[in-house]
Amino acid sequence: MKAARRKALPGDRVAPESLPVRVSNPDKVFWPDEGYTKLDLVRFYDFIFPKLKPWMKDRLISLKRCPNGLAGKCFFQKEKPDSMPADTPTKRIVHENGIRNYVVGGKKETQLALANLGCIAVHVWGARAPSPRQPDWLCFDLDPDSGKFADAARAGVRVKSALDALKLVSFAKTSGKKGLHVFVPIRVGPDADEVRWFAEVLGTKLATAYPRELTMEGSIAKRKGRVYLDPFRNGFAQTVVSPFCVRRFPRAPISTPLEWSEVKPTLDPGVFNISTFEARLAKPDPWADFWKSRQDLKPAIAALQRL
């Protein structure tokens, strides 16, 4: 497939031989319309890793491998691939259907090796390796059935208002595709089942209050143009894409932290992509205080139980 003439990328300044991993098939085109290759993906992660690292450090990772980029199929893998560097950190997790040795993030070599295997996005657990059942964030994944980010933005404002009422500080980011993610940093303590329960109950109350806009309906066919407030990213062993990761979508967009003032229906999340993101980094990080804002979720759980 003939590649398009591509834009300059920040990773172009990095010689392939200087990367800490060897890139196989570096010229394989991952984004045909833009002409971006696998090497471009690996070099971007080399460039962005200082910003990405805090969101991967000690966190378990599920692999979504897309060896042909936007073309072909992807597949999920929980077990650490044999081809990963020998010193790749792992965490042994016992599931009902078996044992898996998950990759643990935090090292640049780990992330670049994953990108070399076709892991375009970074799918991270809500918990870290030392306490895999106790997340340190709560997440709402707002998925607009219309496919319009404008609907997700309006839903995000509804979610923020509800969290404000519960005295919980929240942060928003683009999913990198059509949706919006709303995160709440929490102190380690509640089990994943409690955190998921909180998200389910709050989402149900919001969907009841705004039935024409929001839904908790798991069936896509029954959403009827509404925004799905997916609470299940909070369940044990469930994942969400990390801030600053690349998505398998046209223009190679980045899941980008936002100021709440930026969460508007007019925002085009595709403007944040691997060819433009260096300019975005020149602005203050909207999530700079995320880890300083860890909150005790228990009072909010109690308040929700009383409603």
d(CA 279, CA 275): 9
d(CA 266, CA 113): 37
Structure confidence at residue 306 as a pLDDT band (50, 70, 90): confident
The pTM of this model reads 0.95
**Does residue 307 surpass a pLDDT of 90?**
no
Pick the CATH number of 10-132+240-248 from 3.40.50.10440, 3.40.50.970, 3.90.920.10, 3.20.20.70: 3.90.920.10
Model pLDDT for residues 219-268, shown as the tens digit of each residue: 999 999 999 999 999 999 999 999 999 999 999 999 999 999 999 999 99
**Does residue 107 surpass a pLDDT of 60?**
yes
Model pLDDT for residues 44-70, shown as the tens digit of each residue: 999 999 999 999 999 999 999 999 999
pLDDT, residue 1, reads 45
Model pLDDT for residues 84-105, shown as the tens digit of each residue: 999 999 999 999 889 999 999 9
DSSP 179-221: -EEEEEEB-S-S-HHHHHHHHHHHHHHHHHHSTTTEE----GG
Mean pLDDT, the chain, as a whole number?
Answer: 96
Model pLDDT for residues 191-202, shown as the tens digit of each residue: 999 999 999 999
Model pLDDT for residues 123-135, shown as the tens digit of each residue: 999 999 999 999 9
**Does residue 299 surpass a pLDDT of 60?**
yes
pLDDT, residue 189, reads 96
3-state secondary structure of 75: strand
**Does residue 6 surpass a pLDDT of 80?**
no
Q: Which residues pair with 141 in a beta bridge?
A: 181, 230
**CATH fold of 137-237+290-306, please?**
DNA primase, PRIM domain (3.90.920)
pLDDT, residue 4, reads 54
Residues of the chain with CATH 3.90.920.10: 10-132+240-248, 137-237+290-306
d(CA 116, CA 22): 8
